[in-house]
Structure formats: structure tokens, C-alpha cells
Amino acid sequence: MYNSKKYRKYYIKNRERKLRIRREYYQNNRDKIRKRAKELYPKHRDQNLKYLKRYRIEHPRKVRESRRRYAKKNRQYIIEHSHKYIKEIKKSKPLQYRCRLFISGIRQRGVKFDKTIDSKYFEDRITANPYCECCGKKFKFNFERRMDWAIPSVDRVDPRIGYIKNNIGIVCWGCNMTKSWSTPQQIRNILKYIKKYGK
Ligand SMILES: [Zn+2]
């Protein structure tokens, strides 16, 4: 009959030996094992992802703790890796990078924000119309300098309402700054002043 106590004793006694055998087997057959894993991965991918998702939902605390442990142990690696990752994304997918910045910027600002808006929403809008809605300038994605007038930015048309879909305009940074620094009356005054000189 199966005796768990006895088995456990046996296991502890032979643990080192078993681990050593397994390690040796892995080292000797590394290429074979890796190849097999690569073959099997796509086959079980959906199933694995589903299982992981369920696990994350069922054990949020365990997942959080293990993530924290991992972050603590690999802090340096994570910092370096994420810097490198951001640098790469900035170059290879500047639009996606910008749009993700929009979302984090909006969240930090703490104003009213339609939760159904995600970075994909901005991506689609800018792809459909890559020109400033205000001055018609073509958007640029220049990251050499910190800011460029033609970089796209998100504007609350009426700043009191917040980031709601029909209150969001995509304008260049220059227009956005001009608009946020001045009231409509100030802009009207400037226009009146220019007209006075017939320009
Ligand atoms: Zn503009």
C-alpha cells in the first residue's frame, strides 16, 4: 500500500541525488529538451494562457507577493531592461509610445476621465487624421528633443468637462499650449489687435 510518510522520508533522503540526476539529464539533453518545448508551446499556448489568467484571478495575493519577490530579487535587471525597452519602443513604435503616454498623463492629472478610452483609441484617431485639428500642421514624432511644437497632444476642448470622448481634440503641442495659456477672450483680443493694423 502507498505510504505517504514512508515516501516522504524516501524523498527527502534521495532529494539531492534525484535533483542531481535531473540536472545532469538537462545539461546533456538541453538542445533536445528546448526543441521539444518550442514545439509544444504553440500547441498548448491558449490553454496555458487561460489557466494563468484563472490563476491570477483566483489567487491575487499569491501573485502579488510573488511579483514583489521577483522585483526585489531582480531590481537591477528590471530597471536596465525597462530602460532599454522604452528606448526601443520610442524608436520603433513612436505613435504607440506617445499614445501610452497620453493615458498615463491623463491618469496622473486626476481629472474626469472616460474609462473606455485607451491608447488604442488615440492611435486610431491619429492614424485616421495625422494633422493638428486646430492649425492643420502634420504631426511629428520627434523624441530627440524633449518637446517639439508638432508633437500630437490631447486637448480637453472644454477643460471643465474632462476627458470625455466628444470633448477630446488631438492638436499639436504648440496649439495646446497657446490654448491653455490664454482664455478665449485673450485670443479674441489678440485677433482684434492684429486686425487693427490691417494684417
Ligand atoms: Zn496646431
**Mind listing the domains of the chain with CATH numbers?**
84-188 (1.10.30)
- 3-state SS of 136-187? CCECCCCCCCCCCCCCEEEEECCCCCCECHHHEEEEEHHHHHHHHHCCHHHH
Residue ranges of alpha helices (H) inside 1-93 are 4-28, 30-58, 60-73, 75-92
How much is the pTM? Answer: 0.60
- Look at residue 112 and tell me whether its pLDDT is greater than 90: no
* CA 156 / ligand 1 centre spacing (Å): 14
Query: What pLDDT does 124 receive?
Result: 95
Q: Which pLDDT band, with edges at 50, 70 and 90, does 4 fall under? A: confident
Which of the 8 DSSP states describes residue 132? Answer: -
Computed over every residue of the chain, the mean pLDDT equals: 90
Average pLDDT on 158-181 reads 91
* CA 114 / ligand 1 centre spacing (Å): 24
- State how far the Cα of 39 lies from the Cα of 32, in Å rounded to an integer: 11
* CA 23 / ligand 1 centre spacing (Å): 62
Query: What pLDDT does 66 receive?
Result: 94
* CA 155 / ligand 1 centre spacing (Å): 11
pLDDT in tens, 47-99: 999 999 999 999 999 999 999 999 999 999 999 999 999 889 888 999 999 99
* CA 174 / ligand 1 centre spacing (Å): 6
Closest C-alpha to 130, from 178, 103, 170: 170
